[in-house]
């Protein structure tokens, strides 16, 4: 036979260190919002998101794709030939462009008969849309890069406006993240391995 407890029960009172009911609810919301703000700031310090606008990087990048950019890559290391980078356009820093690094400081760049050479070595470039129609010779000064679009004949790049100062670099492109069906890591062509 079960015994019934006829003693009156007293409701639990929250301890002095714990807010009750609505107070706890609002504290949880505040903590969540603060954590979200901190994460947002950290993500924006470490990365950028850019939209590819135009056809200068075809076939590697398509018009309208969104790309994740690593802002700290070149604070920890130097750009390399073949990297695809985002930078502030030197002639209008309010615009961001995306191109491939072809020449590093001190390099001699030559474009002749549809081939690009760096320091008298012809580059193997399976990623370009077509061979360039233009010709020219450039020497990359210290503190600068020589960049070209993969769609060589439809790209505003170093062959047209000159060298890219290193201090204009935003970061190294890492990932195509939108549209979702195009999501993939971005291939930074390794010229050193290709020439072996």
- Judge whether 142 lies within some domain: yes
* pLDDT tens per residue across span 13-43: 455 555 567 878 888 888 888 777 776 666 6
What residue has token string 């100062």? Answer: 165
- Judge whether 156 lies within some domain: yes
Q: Cis omega (within 30 of 0) on the bond before 23?
A: no
* pLDDT tens per residue across span 156-187: 999 999 999 999 999 999 999 999 899 999 98
Which of 2-16, 17-31, 51-65 is predicted least confidently? 2-16
For 137, residues 6+ apart whose C-beta sits below 8 A from its C-beta are 108, 109, 110, 111
- Judge whether 36 lies within some domain: no
Give the number of domains in the chain. Answer: 1
For 140, residues 6+ apart whose C-beta sits below 8 A from its C-beta are 103, 104, 105, 106, 107, 108, 109, 146, 163
- Tell me which residues are annotated as active site: 56, 99
Residue pair 120/111 in contact by the 8 Å Cβ criterion: no
CATH number of the domain within which 81 lies: 2.10.109.10
What residue has token string 């070595």? Answer: 121
What pTM value is reported for the model? 0.78
Q: What is the pLDDT of residue 27?
A: 83
Q: Cis omega (within 30 of 0) on the bond before 110?
A: no
Q: What is the pLDDT of residue 15?
A: 52
Domain residues for 59? 49-194
Torsions phi, psi of 28, nearest 5?
A: -60, -40
Report how far residue 85's alpha carbon sits from residue 121's, in angstroms, rounded to the nearest whole number. Answer: 23
């Amino acid at each position: 036979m079960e015994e019934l407890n006829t003693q009156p029960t007293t409701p639990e009172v929250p301890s002095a260190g714990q807010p009750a009911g609505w107070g706890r609810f609002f504290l949880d919301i505040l903590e969540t919002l603060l954590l979200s703000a901190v994460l947002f700031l950290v993500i924006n310090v470490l990365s950028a998101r850019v939209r590819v606008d135009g056809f200068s990087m075809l076939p590697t990048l398509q018009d309208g794709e969104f790309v994740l950019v690593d802002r700290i890559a070149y604070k920890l290391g130097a750009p390399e030939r073949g990297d695809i980078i985002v930078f502030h356009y030197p002639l209008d820093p309010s615009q961001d462009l995306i191109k491939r690094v072809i020449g590093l400081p001190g390099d001699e760049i030559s474009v002749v008969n549809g081939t690009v050479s760096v320091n008298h070595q012809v580059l193997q470039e399976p990623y370009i849309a077509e061979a360039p129609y233009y010709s020219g010779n450039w020497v990359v000064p210290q503190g600068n890069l020589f960049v070209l679009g993969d769609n060589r004949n439809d790209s505003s790049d170093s062959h047209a406006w000159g060298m890219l100062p290193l201090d204009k670099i935003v970061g190294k492109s890492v990932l195509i993240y939108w549209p979702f069906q195009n999501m993939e890591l971005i291939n930074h062509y390794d010229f050193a391995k290709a020439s072996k």
